[in-house]
Structure 1
Amino acid sequence: MSHIVTPIFNGENYGFWRIKMKTIFQTKKLWEIVEGGVPNPPAQGDHSPEAVQQKIRCDEASLKDLTALQILQTAVSDSIFPRIAPASNAREAWNALKSEFEGSQQVKMIKLQSLRREYENLKMNDSDSINTFTTKLIEVGNQLRLHGEEKPDYQMVQKILISLPEKFDSIVGVLEQTKDLTVLSVTELIGTLKAHEKRISVREEQSREGAFYGEKNVKTSIKRRLRSGVPFANETITMKVIVGRRRTKVFLHSK
């Protein structure tokens, strides 16, 4: 079995650290001890078969508890360790961190409301890439899940589609006509949007190059005509060359 790397909690992103640690404890069959603690030992002087079995189970649980406590102590930074140093068992140490960094129910509700507003207000700007925007959206969605509010794929898909700028209108229309958006995964949608974004980028680059060479050819033609001394038909000629979104004017005056 490969060695499991224990994540170190330094006071940031407690929710993610908690999920990772819970998984580690579950793989080592220690989560029941961390969550519920060690069962009470039998009464002193009780030598019944049931008490003997209970004593054995209690000793095994105590050993597991020490193992879990050791893992917790090595999973926090030196600045966090004083919070759990007084704890004599894993459950006590776990709850100490949970109480401080997860907060009360009221604190969690305030955080949840803040995350909801952030989620609703997220929009993709023209200068953003699909990767930048969707990474941020997924991050906020994960934070919402940590605070008890699930965001299923179909809701995330709808949120992404209504948050895109105009240049994605064509692909959004195609998706709405050809895909069942209730079963479309976020991963598939992001892949489709990235491919469309790449096509837009290639077309814009080709357009810029074509406009540049077009402008260059026009100016070269004008210079040749001026050098030849051939008069222009009109007193003033205005030639407009469009480069991307920039309009360049060249004014020619006859002699």
Structure 2
Amino acid sequence: MKTLFKSQDLWDLVENGFVDTDEPNQQLRDTCKKDSKALFMIQQAVDDEIFPQIAAATTSKEAWEILKKEYLGDEKVISIKLQTLRRDFENLSMGEKESVEEYLCRVSAIVGQRKTYGDDVDNETVVSKVLRSLISKFNHVVSAIEESKDLTTYDFDILKSSLIAHEERINRTSEKVDEKAFQVKGVSNKEKYDNSGGRDRGRDRGRGGFRGRGCGGDNH
């Protein structure tokens, strides 16, 4: 909803409201019209169970505040939840067996929750957190990004694409190494088998010849 309001240039009205006066003018009429539009959008977005709670609201800000309290809780509850989310964000770190995409989804989820509760997390904070919490196999690409990019403007989505591409290259290299090792092991086992078989056949021939001579001697 917040994104929708911003796209319609209504978010400032919803968030901050406006001052009504007894002396209407064209600007105030335009503001009231825009606020009515925002209020209508809110009314259309809520389900039938919630609508009665905002039915008496006369401004979009009033309706929005009712919804915030309904879904997020009062100021004390919001403060406690934000403290928890900020702590969770600071404690984030990538798991050794976790893909970078899975990890970045966890990061995005916590950032999204913080923003839902009104905590405006800037892009630099998120990018910096990700770079310092990746596992060691990303050290090379992290160093390259920190040296070549301005983290104040480096977009999170671009970072995500770069890290995923880097991980794919690592995985492809690892697969090739494993495949080569498997092939070498297969050749080694084959050589061992052939050598072992050769010795056995030699022993068999030796045993066979001995028995032949023995039998021949008995016949004489």
1:81 is aligned to 2:62: no
CA 104–200 in structure 1, closer or farther in 2 if over 3 Å, else same: same
Deviations along 1:210-245, one digit per CA (max 9) or x if unpaired, are 1221222122222222222369xxxxxxxxxxxxxx
How many aligned residue pairs are there?
A: 201
Distance 1:113 1:34 in 2: 22
User: Could you report, residue by residue, the CA deviation over 1:135-179 in whole angstroms, capped at 9, with x for unpaired residues?
Assistant: 321332243344454433333232112211122223334444x32
How far did 1:80 drift? Answer: 2.1
Matches within 5 A, 1:54-65: 54=24
What displacement does 1:60 show?
6.9
> 1 or 2, which has the higher strand percentage?
1
Distance 1:65 1:207, change over 3 A: closer
Corresponding residue for residue 179 of structure 1: 148
For residue 135 of structure 1, the aligned residue among 105, 113, 119 is 105
Determine if contact 1:37/1:90 at 8 Å carries over to the other structure: no
Which residue does 1:159 correspond to in 2?
A: 129
Q: Name the residue aligned to 2:6.
A: 23
Runs (5+) with no aligned partner, structure 1: 1-16, 43-53, 232-255
Displacement of 1:200 in angstroms is 0.8
Q: Which runs of 5+ in 2 are unaligned?
A: 202-220
Provide the residue aligned with 2:74 in structure 1. Answer: 104
Distance 1:228 1:184, change over 3 A: farther
Structure 1 equivalent of residue 87 of structure 2: 117
Identity %, equivalent residues: 29
Q: CA deviation at 1:57?
A: 7.7
1:119/1:140 contact within 8 Å kept: yes
Local SS of the residue matching 1:114: helix
Q: How big is the shift at 1:133?
A: 1.3
Indicate if the aligned counterparts of 1:130 and 1:193 stay in contact, CA closer than 8 A.
yes
CA distance in 1, matches of 2:185, 2:26: 89
**1:194 match:** 164
After TM superposition, give the deviation of residue 121 of structure 1 in Å. 1.1
Residue 17 of structure 2 aligns with which residue?
A: 36
Corresponding residue for residue 95 of structure 1: 65
- Residues 38 and 62 of structure 1 are in contact (CA less than 8 Å); yes or no, is this contact kept in structure 2? no
- The structure with the larger Rg is 2
Change over 3 Å in CA distance of 1:193–1:224 after alignment to 2: same
Report which stretch shifted further, 65-74 or 210-219. 65-74
Comparing both structures, which one devotes a greater share of its residues to helix? 2
Q: Distance in 2 between matches of 1:119 and 1:34?
A: 26
Looking at structure 2, the residues matched to 63 and 115 of structure 1 have their Cα atoms a distance apart, in angstroms, of 38
**Rounded Cα–Cα distance in structure 2 between residues aligned with 1:33 and 1:137:** 28
Contact 1:157/1:181 (8 A) holds in 2 = no
Normalised TM-score (structure 2): 0.72
In structure 2, the CA distance between the partners of 1:216 and 1:195, relative to structure 1 (3 Å rule), is same
Q: 1:107 to 1:173 in 2, by over 3 A?
A: same
